[in-house]
Amino acid sequence: MTDPAGASAAPHPAAAVDSDIPAGTTEGGGPTRPADSTIAAGTTPTQTASHADVWKPVVTAAKVLVPSTLLASLFFYFGLRYTHDHYLQYGLDDAGLGFSNTDYIVRSLNVTIQPARLVAFAAIIGVAFHVGVCVVLRALAHRRQDADRRFARILGAALVVLGVAGILVFWSPGRLGTRPVTSTAWWLVSVLVVIYGAYLGWIRYRPEDRASRYVSDALHEREGKVLAAVLLGMAVVLVAYGAFEFTRAYARERALQQALRNERTPWAFPLVRVYSRVDLALEDLGVAEERLQGGEDEYVFRYVGLRLFLHDNDRLVLWPSQRSPRFGMFILRETDDVRVEYQPELR
């Protein structure tokens, strides 16, 4: 190429050098770095990574502590309900016995193991049922076109109707003469049946009729996602509520059953004698009182025929052996003026 004056134009030195470098690479052969538009002004990639490393332990701790705190709170609540209902059968208030949070959590094991076992058993049955339904749907799909879709829609609609009926029937505990724990369990099962029926009939196979297409066209994509998230959240809340009510009803029933069992087996609690330096005035409760010969610093009164129900936090929970424990108990604080002696009993 020549310039207008007729002289040949020599190439620029820099242009000659750049022409030998492949596109997308630097002189050293490494790839070119994209523009630093994604890095905040005044910061470097090292500083950004260090900030992420600072927040990583916080996020990890939140993932661990939040579920553990929630579980501990649930265990505490169920232990509190069980303890309160159990001691209420004897006319006692558990708040006056000085139980700690650990005591309530330990007592919750009596009322959470059985519901957890039932949930695991129900999960196994549900998985087996779903596998059977999938096998039937696959067999129908090979025999006739759209037969699996119609069967899923019919079965899903039947399950939804059946589940809604169960929710309405067992909405209030104790309906139809059933126990509260039974009615709450059936209510939870009904909720799960509705959720599974909706999944089987309308989510596993998306409906393709005119009404379904009209609704899907009327909603924007974001609106559909929001509605799906709302429905999923409602389902989670209903299932959690049902499980909570079932466990609470079981805790109350277990407390009553334990009280009746203690009434049938009073020999499970030891006989004790109580020595005291002062008169405890237990004659009105039917407790035999014996006055002993002794000085001022010695024990003067002895009470026999008592059974020890609980000894905790310097408190003695006792009841007369000739009466039922549900007739009433009394609390005796353990001090230097009171001494307890266990009495052997032959069975």
**Three-class SS string for the chain?**
CECCCCCECCCCHHHHHHHCCCCCECCCCCECCCCHHHCCCCCCHHHHHHHHHHHHHHHHHHHHHHHHHHHHHHHHHHHHHHHHHHHHCCCCCHHHHCCCHHHHHHHCHHHHHHHHHHHHHHHHHHHHHHHHHHHHHHHHHHHCCCHHHHHHHHHHHHHHHHHHHHHHHCCCCCHHHCCHHHHHHHHHHHHHHHHHHHHHHHHCCCCCCHHHHHHHHHCCHHHHHHHHHHHHHHHHHHHHHHHHHHHHHHHHHHHHHHHHHHHHCHHHCCEEEEEECCCCCCHHHCCEEEECCCCCCCCCEEEEEEEEEEEECCEEEEEECCCCHHHCCEEEECCCCEEEEEECCCC
More confident residue, 345 or 124: 124
Which pLDDT does position 14 carry in this prediction? 43
Token code pair at residue 299: 């024990």
Residues with Cβ within 8 Å of residue 284, at least 6 apart in sequence: none
Q: Give Rg (Cα) of the chain.
A: 37
Which pLDDT does position 196 carry in this prediction? 95
More confident residue, 48 or 118: 118
Q: Are strands 330-333 and 315-320 parallel, antiparallel or unpaired?
A: antiparallel
Q: How far lies 8's CA from each of 1, 5, 12, 18, in Å?
A: 6, 9, 13, 21
Q: Is the pTM of this model over 0.95?
A: no
Q: Quick one: how far is CA 299 from the chain centroid?
A: 52
Burial of 112-142, coded b for 16+ CB within 10 Å and e otherwise, reads beebeeeeeeeeeeeeeeeeebeeebeebee
Segment 322-347 mean pLDDT: 85
Which pLDDT does position 282 carry in this prediction? 86
The span from the CA of 179 to the CA of 187, in Å, is 12
Token code pair at residue 262: 């203690």
Asked whether residue 301 carries a pLDDT value surpassing 60, the answer given is: yes
Token code pair at residue 145: 């076109």
The span from the CA of 187 to the CA of 176, in Å, is 13
Asked whether residue 38 carries a pLDDT value surpassing 60, the answer given is: no
pLDDT band at 345 (very low <50, low <70, confident <90, very high): confident
Which pLDDT does position 210 carry in this prediction? 60
